[in-house]
C-alpha cells in the first residue's frame, strides 16, 4: 500500500467519540507492550504517529489514524498489564467492548502476540472474544527479531497451532519484516485488495 497521508484523527474515551464517516476500520489489539503502536508507525513509515513506550499501558484511549483519506487504522488500548488498578482495567475493557459492539465499520482485527510469550488464560479469552465478535482477524507475532528467522517461523507455527488459528504471520519493526504481508491482508479486509497495487509496499 502506498501511503499518501497518515493523520491522527483523534482519541476516543467513549463510543460517542468514534468516527461516524463510514470509512472502513482495521484495529490492532493485544496485551500492553506487545507493540501495537510501534507496528502502526512501522506500517505507515512514521516514527511518532502513534505514541509508543517501554512502559506498558501507554495507549489508554482508542486512537484513530486516517490513512490516504480512505480508511482508519485503530490503535486500541492494551490489556493484561498487572500493575494498573482494577477500576482502570475495567474501564479499558468496557471501552474495548463498546468499540467492538458500536456497529462501526470494523473490517478486520490484527491480534498482536509477543512471539517470546507463552499463551495464558487471558490470551485464550482474547481469542474467544475475537471469535465471538465474528470479525475477520489475523494473528500477528510481534518482535520476531528476538529470534532467528527460522526459529521465529517455528515458534509462530507452534503458537498458531496452540491457538488453532490458521491466519497468522510474524512481524518485526526492527527488520521491517511482515510489512508487505500485513498490508496485503489489510487491503483485502477493507476491500482494496483487488485493486492493482503499483505502489511500493510500506
Ligand X SMILES: Nc1nc2c(ncn2[C@@H]2O[C@H](COP(=O)(O)OP(=O)(O)OP(=O)(O)O)[C@@H](O)[C@H]2O)c(=O)[nH]1
Binding site for ligand X (CB under 6 A): 30, 32-38, 52-54, 56-59, 78, 142-143, 145-146, 172-174
- Provide the mask over 28-47, with x wherever binding to Mg ion is found by CB under 5 A and - wherever it is not: --------xx----------
Q: Which does 53 bind (CB under 5 to 8 A by kind): Mg ion, ligand X, none?
A: ligand X
Q: Judged by CB, which is closer to ligand X: 48, or 134?
A: 48
> Cα separation of 31 and 78, whole Å?
5
Name the segment binding Mg ion (CB under 5 A); options: 55-63, 118-126, 156-164, 177-185.
Answer: 55-63
Q: Judged by CB, which is closer to ligand X: 78, or 156?
A: 78
Q: Are residues 138 and 184 in contact, defined by beta-carbon separation less than 8 angstroms?
A: no
Say whether residue 143 binds Mg ion (CB under 5 A). Answer: no
> Cα separation of 93 and 45, whole Å?
30
Say whether residue 58 binds Mg ion (CB under 5 A). Answer: yes
Q: Are residues 8 and 75 in contact, defined by beta-carbon separation less than 8 angstroms?
A: no
Say whether residue 63 binds Mg ion (CB under 5 A). Answer: no
> Cα separation of 113 and 138, whole Å?
11
Of 27, 13, 29, nearest to 104 (Cα)? Answer: 27
CB of 191 to ligand X, least distance (A): 26
CB of 55 to ligand X, least distance (A): 7
> Cα separation of 200 and 202, whole Å?
6
Q: Judged by CB, which is closer to ligand X: 4, or 175?
A: 175
Sequence-separated (6 or more) residues with CB below 8 Å from residue 65: 6, 7, 8, 9, 40, 44, 49, 50, 72, 73, 74, 75
Q: Judged by CB, which is closer to ligand X: 59, or 169?
A: 59
Q: Which residues bind Mg ion (CB under 5 A)?
A: 36-37, 58-59
Amino acid at each position: 500500500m502506498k501511503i499518501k497521508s497518515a493523520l491522527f484523527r483523534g482519541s476516543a474515551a467513549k463510543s460517542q467519540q468514534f468516527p461516524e464517516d463510514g470509512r472502513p476500520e482495521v484495529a490492532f489489539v493485544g496485551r500492553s507492550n506487545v507493540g501495537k503502536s510501534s507496528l502502526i508507525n512501522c506500517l505507515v513509515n512514521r516514527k511518532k504517529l502513534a505514541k509508543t513506550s517501554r512502559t506498558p499501558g501507554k495507549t489508554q484511549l482508542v486512537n484513530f489514524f486516517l490513512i490516504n483519506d480512505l480508511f482508519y487504522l485503530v490503535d486500541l488500548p492494551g490489556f493484561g498489564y498487572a500493575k494498573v488498578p482494577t477500576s482502570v482495567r475495567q474501564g479499558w475493557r468496557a471501552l474495548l467492548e463498546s468499540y467492538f459492539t458500536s456497529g462501526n465499520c470494523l473490517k478486520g482485527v490484527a491480534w498482536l502476540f509477543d512471539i517470546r510469550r507463552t499463551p495464558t488464560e487471558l490470551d485464550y479469552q482474547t481469542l474467544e472474544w475475537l471469535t465471538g465478535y465474528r470479525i475477520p482477524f489475523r494473528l500477528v507475532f510481534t518482535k520476531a527479531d528476538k529470534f532467528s528467522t527460522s526459529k521465529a517461523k517455528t515458534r509462530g507455527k507452534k503458537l498458531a497451532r496452540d491457538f488453532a488459528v490458521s491466519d497468522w504471520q510474524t512481524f518485526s519493526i526492527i527488520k521491517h519484516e511482515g510489512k508487505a504481508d500485513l498490508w496485503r491482508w489489510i487491503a483485502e479486509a477493507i476491500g482494496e485488495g483487488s485493486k492493482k497495487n503499483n505502489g511500493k509496499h510500506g
